[in-house]
Structure 1
């Protein structure tokens, strides 16, 4: 069940009253409350072309259970989404799910469509700010483009994520596809389209995300 928070002034007043009366805060305001992790991504996180429940986000839910970490995961990823699309969808997602943590994995489709790098950077930065303003901790997940885009573009694109992470002071996973797209015989980890990772690659994607996310989940 999704619990909607009251307006800011009413929330502050309620917290002040509870503190004055010596009462405990509701579960959603306690540090030991279960985490709510919102993943906003594209096809790399939306289980494109693979069986439902086999993607890295679904595997994340399983790992959280094995680790004994109380958390729910909401996968709001959409295949084909751009950073602009994620930015436009995010406010409603934040209101609906009230996440404690937001994982942002977007930008790959911006590169495929040749969208301006400056726009991608602005969108990712704004998504980060909106999430933090909503009280969530943010993990930015980076994507790198293939070498055939040219060395200059490849380096500038990768630098987008580094810059946003530095400016907004949030942790960064530099490359979601590390160990998948940058290894010999990488084709064994991809679907026939040579763009989307297959089921065999999904545990590796999670391994790339997990260390940074695990640190972020600590109180």
Structure 2
């Protein structure tokens, strides 16, 4: 009787580890080429309070790199400090996390570096790649802008995070939508620069 019961409960032999690995589905292009955008009005494409560019940065990224699944979490007027408070509890699925903050924090004297370091650490703990952007140019407050940009650069250098140097992107005064925000042409060039950095992180998504 025991022999019969044992025979009835027996399971087919498990597949070797190598066979199970071969049977696992390969990552889809959508999962490999995916990015989530965190930032303020510059990454949101906002200007003059409640207006938004016809092609905001998230849409420009989709146009330039159609293989990417883009999740836009940018918010007009947001600071890194504000986002850090919710960042740890948010659910993410993107392979790459782009973080663009600095000007609002610098203008308000907030601890920008502390916030950025916390977000980088959290995203990396989730197994994600992180890209930081520098600050875009402004028509006023160059000293505040430079202070914020220097803080982001320090974090990127000390934590070895890929850095999109938006301050190096050329701009003419006429290409500003207002005193702080890029117009369509300047915004597009910022995204093109970001894309070149993303290409180094995920060359297969080009």
TM over 0.5: yes
Residue 83 of structure 2 is aligned to residue 86 of structure 1: yes
Pick closer, same or farther for the CA change 1:144–1:22 going to 2, 3 Å: closer
Runs of 4+ more than 6 Å apart:
none
Aligned twin of 1:8: none
Aligned twin of 1:50: 52
Is residue 137–residue 167 contact of structure 2 (8 Å, CA) maintained in 1? no
Residue 20 of structure 2 is aligned to residue 21 of structure 1: yes
Aligned twin of 1:104: 99
Q: TM-score, normalised by structure 1?
A: 0.73
Tell which structure's C-alpha radius of gyration is larger: 2
Is residue 108–residue 145 contact of structure 1 (8 Å, CA) maintained in 2? no
CA distance in 1, matches of 2:25, 2:183: 42
Q: Any unmatched runs of 5+ in structure 2?
A: 1-15
Residue correspondences, number? 185
CA distance in 1, matches of 2:82, 2:40: 10
Pick closer, same or farther for the CA change 1:207–1:145 going to 2, 3 Å: closer
Residue 191 of structure 2 is aligned to residue 190 of structure 1: no
Q: Any unmatched runs of 5+ in structure 1?
A: 1-16
CA offsets, 1:135-159, max 9 Å, x none? 11111001167596575x6654332
Is residue 50–residue 199 contact of structure 1 (8 Å, CA) maintained in 2? no
Q: How far does residue 177 in structure 1 lie from its aligned partner after superposition?
A: 7.1
Correspondence list, 1:14-163, <5 A: 21-28=20-27, 33-48=31-46, 49-52=51-54, 54-65=55-66, 70-93=67-90, 95=91, 97-115=92-110, 119-143=111-135, 149=141, 156-163=147-154
CA distance in 2, matches of 1:144, 1:47: 12
User: RMSD over aligned Cα, in angstroms?
Assistant: 2.8
CA distance in 2, matches of 1:177, 1:92: 34
CA offsets, 1:175-207, max 9 Å, x none? 257212xx4xx1x2112x321112232221112
Q: Give 3-state SS (helix, strand or coil) of 2:23's partner.
A: coil
CA distance in 2, matches of 1:50, 1:31: 30
Q: TM-score, normalised by structure 2?
A: 0.77
CA distance in 2, matches of 1:203, 1:147: 18
CA distance in 1, matches of 2:116, 2:139: 23
